[in-house]
Chains A and B, each alone.
Chain A
Amino acid sequence: MMWRIRAFERAAEAGLANGHVAGAVHMSIGQEAVAAGVSAHLIKADVIASTHRGHGHSIAKGADLHGMMLELYGRAGGSCGGKGGSMHIADFDVGMLGANGVVGAGLPIAVGAAQGLRLLGRNAIAVCYFGDGAANRGPFLESLNWAAVFRLPVLFVCEDNSWSATTRTATMSAGPGIAARAESLGVPAVSIDGNDVEAVDETAGRLIADIRAGGGPRLLHARTYRLKGHTVTDPAPYRPAEEVAARWEDDPIARNAAELKALGLDEDEIAAIEIAETRRIAEAVAAALAAPFPETAAAFDDVQDVGRPAPGAERGLAHPLPAEHAA
């Protein structure tokens, strides 16, 4: 799974470089272990709310890769019909309720989804991914409080990559940290090394079991690192090169490869995983390149049914005179 996410994002990076992918693309290279470890414990009926950095969450939840790639390429048939792009990637068929362009906005959506699932009698949970920077926005406090008050089945997953865009989050955050904030609101929290996929897997499994057993919300604080810039086009000059170099040593995929090796897999077997995932993604890219763009009329769809915009109304009169008065 981690390899698949990495291959997808490498392809997104290349697509941006050659001009086929547009807009803001936020990559999670270096953070793949979090999504992979958490999703291992989710069923299809569970829902997730994601961040602006949502490719990994989406892929790990089982989103259709071809649909995602078409979406990045802005093509018809993309998972959002070309209306979302990277920052609004979503796949409702597998419970991926969307990446979000507004930091922290997924938190209340996830608690509401959990409440809705309960009201409708569905036996499923909600997972909310958010960044360390988002924990400084009001919705973090409101949503954790809310989830605790209603004992909702929600797992909050903080992907703490140390950075909020170009600012070191620690310089902007008071107090002893995110887990402590959660605990202060009565939400049990665990901090772990988020680059250790085994640790994520084990801890998420335990927390999700507690939630499914009716224990109420839990928070997983996963320390990781964003190995690339904030967006694909950000060279991240604000970070010391030594810091980045040191963190590449801790790349979760390399770490996992080493662990697999220690378990007895040979180099070829590990390389085969990587090759298979790269090939799978290359197929999605080829399909995206071959696909048509959406018709412009699609821009008028899915806005609203009641009072929907009329294609063509943007030119000429917004409202023509009713026939009997059109003298």
Chain B
Amino acid sequence: MPQQLAIIVLVDVGNALASSTLEGNTYLFDNMKLHGSENQGTGELVTAINGSYWRDGSQASEQVLNWLPYSLGSIPPTVPRGYEVERARQTDEQALAELQELAAKSTVPSADAEAELNRIRRSVGTRVKTTRRTRGRMSGQKIVDVTGQVVTEDATAAASYPAPVITDIYGEAVESKIMYPAEYGSPDMVTDGWYWSATVDTSRPGTYSYMMRVQLHKLVQTNGELRWDPVNLTCASALKITSEPRRNAFTKAGIGPLPIPSTARPGRGA
């Protein structure tokens, strides 16, 4: 069984939303550079998949691919899963403590108390409205900026975009039954528990394109309420399947003869 491959889909969400396209705003990576993948870090990645075969020519094994969508310029995927919900809870607790303190020290309303209340109101941030569509993944969270601070509705221009979500993988490679993609759930901390994965039939060499349907989220304010509105865009990529045998990464030699230097063997006298 070969190593599973990861394809990172890095999206400049802000720019993609502003220009309504993923083209020029998506950067793709895989970990097959040494195996011949081309155009790493651009929107034109061609993922190299080297088939492995038995000596009679039959396919030895399929290849497994995983896609990881990330947002450029948001809170990185290395913070714990559900970070926005955690921040919402922390700031609620802090505001409660501050309110208690304020209540304890002033019994009569005053300008000071009002200013203090305003300060607390700001530090408590703004919650996103939970709609039927966004219940679950983004429910109960507050608007958090790119440094992890909660923000109020007047400062949402600095909001950290939620990571892109792949909602479908289709196109030539799928239609011609080269790869079989599906969405899986897992306790993976990095990808929010859901990820797209595919097995690739490596027995038919060639270059095959495929499309990804990607959902971004735009922060909109309607009737004084904030919510993340989904925006669906697509982007293309390609797989290049070759029938070259796998190579030894240390010697660059194939899997045939062992790379023994061709010096004379002892006892032969040459």
Do A and B associate with each other? Answer: no
